[in-house]
Amino acid sequence: MTTPLISFQKLGMEFHQQRVLVDINLDIARGQTVVIIGESGCGKTVMLKLMIALLQPTSGCVTFDGKVLADLDDQALTEQRLRFGFLFQSAALFDSLSVFDNVAFGLREQSRMDDDEIAKTVRQRLQEVGLPEAVEEKKPAELSGGMKKRVGLARALAMNPEVMLYDEPTTGLDPIMTDVINELILQVRQRTPVTSVIVTHEMKTVYKVADRVVMLHPLSRLNPGENQILFDGSPSALKASPDPRVQQFIEGQARERLQELATQAQG
């Protein structure tokens, strides 16, 4: 069998004795597009941070390309992180830098390109995400939410990553811009053999871009002995899942959840 590119093995994570992830086993193959869904607070974004060792697991381990991340020294870990691109939920642009300088930032810090090569790469990446040269000198404050997301994506792609991590890439965007971002995610995959992991609540994104869907469930709402990964399969299998909790999530049905909250409040 092919060795997975990213692997979680009996992984657990807690913060101040508050457990978020417990006994997670998950393998992600090279070139796969995996979408992680689930209720707020179930550990989706934590999983992304564990993948690039921004967090260290409380138990178990994360491996990337056969290497246990916790075993790497700082230099080796930096080298591995450079293989990732990360589109943050808020785009996380540098407010004091222009669009051009935001996209060029990683290239100037980590590459051996000269200024002409950097300028060419920046303009190519901005063009790929549908932004004209006229935006190059603008500051993030002058951009709409959708434009900020696209600049963030261009910055991540400028480093030619092997893996793209997307944290809620369409949050706060209107339906049209949401579809623009979804199309860009697809185009990235079509242009290069990139592995993608996407955290989202947006079911349109799930059905449009995913090869595979992983659904997490909050630990406090699991049945005794039940795995935290409630579903792992194709988008079509997700729609057909017999688990009522899966159906409630993908259909946005809140009645049972409201009843649970009312019961908790009375308790």
The highest-level CATH class for domain 1-83+195-267 is: alpha beta
Give the neighbor-by-neighbor strand order of the sheet with 84-87: 84-87, 163-167, 195-199, 33-37, 212-216, 229-233
Per-10-residue mean pLDDT, the chain, length 267: 89 92 96 94 92 94 95 93 87 90 89 88 92 92 90 92 93 89 91 93 94 94 91 96 93 67 58
Q: What is the pTM of this model?
A: 0.90
pLDDT at 258: 60
Euclidean distance between CA atoms 123 and 108, whole angstroms: 15
pLDDT at 118: 93
Terminal-to-terminal C-alpha distance of the chain: 50
Strands (E) located in the chain: 6-15, 18-28, 33-37, 59-64, 67-68, 84-87, 163-167, 195-199, 212-216, 229-233
Residue 176 CB-density burial (10 A; 0-12 exposed, 13-18 middle, 19+ buried): exposed
Q: Where do the domains of the chain lie?
A: 1-83+195-267
pLDDT at 102: 94
- Helix, strand, coil content of the chain in percent (nearest 5): 45, 20, 35
pLDDT at 266: 59
pLDDT at 140: 92
Q: Is 49 helix (H, G, I), strand (E, B) or coil?
A: helix
